[in-house]
Amino acid sequence: MRIFSGIQPTGAKHLGNFSGGFRQYAATQEQGDAFFCIVDLHSVTVPHDPEDLRARTLDLAALMFATGLDAERSTVFVQSHVTAHAESAWLLGCVATIGELRRMTQFKDKAGKRESVSVGLFTYPVLMAGDILLYQTDIVPIGDDQRQHLELSRDIAERFNSRFGETFTVPRGVYPEAGARIMDLQQPGNKMSTTGGNPQGTIYLLDPPEAVRKKVKTAVTDSGREIIHDPNEKAGISNLIEIMTVATGESIAEVEKRFESSGYGQFKSDVSDAVVALLEPIQARFREIRDDPAELERMLAIGAAKAREASAPTLEKMYERMGFTRPKGV
Ligand code: ATP
Ligand code: LTN
């Protein structure tokens, strides 16, 4: 089975990214042939600082290994190191339609907040479709916020296949059972997010223990007393329950049962302990791995070579099926 997912190198990574991203990457790599891509081309769709992008690309690679990716088993690479990604985005951009891109809620949200919006932000989902389809991907581990983009990738794959002949595997999204959408602790109506969130409501993976405790303690809840999962009526508590499941591996029902007779104060304190216990070893491994940038660069170079080899046949097929001539024999 082929597994593919991507993650952006800009912004500090948070517990939502851990839940929908990192922990699913580490789990799915056991199921087959896995590719995990640091999507730097996606990160320039909004204004960015070049030095920051450079530094964060290596930091993100370190975090991916620190959260359990195994360089022997999985291919971890940087999107811009494999030119097939930019090429497939052009080809698929001529298959996707303006109408379907206009319906993307992430574009509407992000574009609505800016005066000037890049063309790249609009065509972002097409680049993402190429990422996935180039690898004949069967499953894509992601968070709930990427569901619409994944559905679009499937539509583009099916359209290409029916217009030009069977070329792509149609991929399936894989979402965590609990924690597919971790919410902001201060605004439990919005997802935890680097770009759109509130820093006080966002638990960063590199936050020190005191910061985690303060953020959980001040998390917005409700005036009730029961620790039960009801996202409509009790968004804040439901979110803390899901955070607990992410930190301990328990189910929602197990967390509810364990805190049946506890108050919110005790529950919050136990949630912070569990999150701190989750993050401490990740942070220690991250510091170790990041301290050897030459080794990280070597691993990414190996990843890029493997990704080039794996994606080349599909890109070639795309060109051929679409009727392009190919350079021969020089
Ligand atoms: P952000 O909103 O924080 O800027 P992002 O979604 O733009 O994040 P990435 O960091 O590339 O960008 O996301 C990596 C993975 O994390 C994706 O699979 C995404 O679905 C998932 N993810 C992001 N936010 C959350 C969340 N609040 N809960 C669960 N999964 C999430
Ligand atoms: N859009 C995604 C990042 C992303 C991705 C991908 C995820 C880019 N290409 C391919 C899965 C598969 C995001 O913002 N999280």
Using CA positions, which residue lies closest to atom 26 of ligand 1?
16
Among 9-13, 58-62, 80-84, 280-284, name the one with the lowest average pLDDT. 9-13
Do 275 and 299 lie in a common domain?
A: no
Relative to the alpha carbon of 124, which ligand is closest? Answer: 2
Centroid of ligand 2 to alpha carbon of 5 (angstroms): 6
Q: Of 185, 182, 194, 141, whose CA–CA distance to 13 is shortest? A: 194
Question: What is the distance in A from the centroid of ligand 2 to the CA of 230?
Answer: 29
Is the pLDDT score of 330 beyond 80? no
Ligand nearest to the CA of 41: 2
Element (H, E) at 173: strand 172-174
In a domain, 190, yes or no: no
User: In this predicted model, what pLDDT tens digit does every residue of 242-268 receive, in sequence order?
Assistant: 999 999 999 999 999 999 999 999 999
For residues 111 and 72, membership in a common domain is answered with yes
Q: For atom 20 of ligand 1, which residue has the closest CA?
A: 143
Q: Does residue 186 form part of some domain?
A: no
Contact (CB, 8 A) for 282 and 246:
no
Q: How confident is the model at residue 291, as a pLDDT? A: 96
81 vs 95: CA distance, rounded Å: 24
Stated pTM of the model: 0.96
d(CA 26, CA 158): 29
User: Which residue segment(s) compose the domain that 128 sits in?
Assistant: 2-176+293-322
Percent of the chain with pLDDT over 90: 94
> Which ligand neighbours the alpha carbon of 34 most closely?
2
Find the 71 Cα to ligand 2 centroid distance in Å: 20
Per the CB < 8 A criterion, the answer to whether 318 and 91 are in contact is yes
Residue 189 included in any domain: no
Considering the chain, what is the average pLDDT of its residues?
96
Residues 52-81: what's their mean pLDDT? 96
139-141 and 172-174 strand pairing: parallel
Nearest CA residue ID for atom 10, ligand 2: 6
Smallest CA separation from ligand 2 atom 13, residue: 7
Encoding tokens for residue 73?
Answer: 């088993």
Please name which ligand lies nearest the alpha carbon of 37.
Answer: 2
**Residue 213 near residue 276 (C-beta atoms within 8 A):** yes
Domain-located, residue 253? yes
- Neighbouring residues of 76: CB distance < 8 A, sequence distance ≥ 6: 36, 37, 38, 61, 64, 65, 69, 299, 300, 303
pLDDT over 70 percentage in the chain = 100
DSSP summary character for residue 327: -
Residue 141: predicted pLDDT: 98
Ligand 1 atom closest to the CA of 144, numbered from 1: 20
CB-hemisphere CA count at 13 Å for 110? 21
Question: Is 185 within a domain?
Answer: no
Task: Return the residue whose CA atom lies nearest to atom 8 of ligand 1.
Answer: 193
Distance (Å, rounded) from C-alpha 225 to C-alpha 110? 36
Atom of ligand 1 nearest to the CA of 181: 28
122, 28: one domain: yes
For position 11, what pLDDT does the model report?
Answer: 86
Give how many domains the chain has, as a whole number: 2
Instruction: Convert the pLDDT of each residue in 181-195 to its tens digit.
Output: 999 999 999 999 988
Would you say residue 329 lies in a domain?
no
**Which pLDDT belongs to residue 262?**
94
Q: Are residues 168 and 299 in the same domain?
A: yes
Q: If you count DSSP H runs as helices and E runs as strands, how many of each does the chain have, helices first?
A: 14, 5
Cα first-last separation, the chain: 36
Residues with C-beta less than 6 Å from any ligand 2 atom = 4-8, 39, 42, 128, 131-132, 140, 142, 146, 149
**Same domain? 281 vs 299:** no
122 and 217 together in one domain: no
89/164 same-domain check: yes
Query: pLDDT band for position 113 (50/70/90)?
Result: confident
pLDDT of 169 strictly over 90: yes
Q: Which of 63, 137, 91 is nearest to 324 (CA)?
A: 91
Q: Which residues line ligand 1 (CB under 6 A)?
A: 7-8, 11, 16-17, 19-21, 142-143, 145-146, 180-182, 191-195
Shared domain for 28 and 111, answered yes or no, is: yes
Q: What is the CATH number of the domain that holds 229?
A: 1.10.240.10
My answer on whether 256 and 306 are in the same domain is no
The answer to whether residues 149 and 242 belong to one domain is no
Same domain (yes/no): 37, 131: yes
CA–CA separation, 315 and 311 (whole Å) = 6
- Tell me the pLDDT tens digit for each residue of 299-328: 999 999 999 999 999 999 999 999 999 988
Q: Cα(212)–Cα(273) distance, rounded to whole angstroms?
A: 9
In this structure, which ligand is nearest to the CA of 39? 2
Which pLDDT belongs to residue 80? 98
Distance separating alpha carbons of residues 158 and 169, to the nearest angstrom:
9
CA of 170 to the centre of ligand 2 (A): 16
Residue 225 confidence class, pLDDT cut points 50, 70, 90: very high
Q: What angle do CA 235, 28, 244 make, to 5 degrees?
A: 30
Tell me: do 119 and 256 sit in the same domain: no
328 lies in some domain: no
Instruction: Specify the residue with its C-alpha closest to ligand 1, atom 25.
Output: 16
Measured CA distances, 178 to 187, 237, 241 (Å): 19, 14, 9
DSSP code per residue over 1-21: -EEEEEE-SSS--BHHHIIII
Q: Is 114 inside a domain boundary?
A: yes
Q: Check: CB of residue 272 under 8 Å from CB of residue 213.
A: yes
Q: Can you give the pLDDT at residue 197?
A: 81
User: What's residue 279's pLDDT?
Assistant: 98
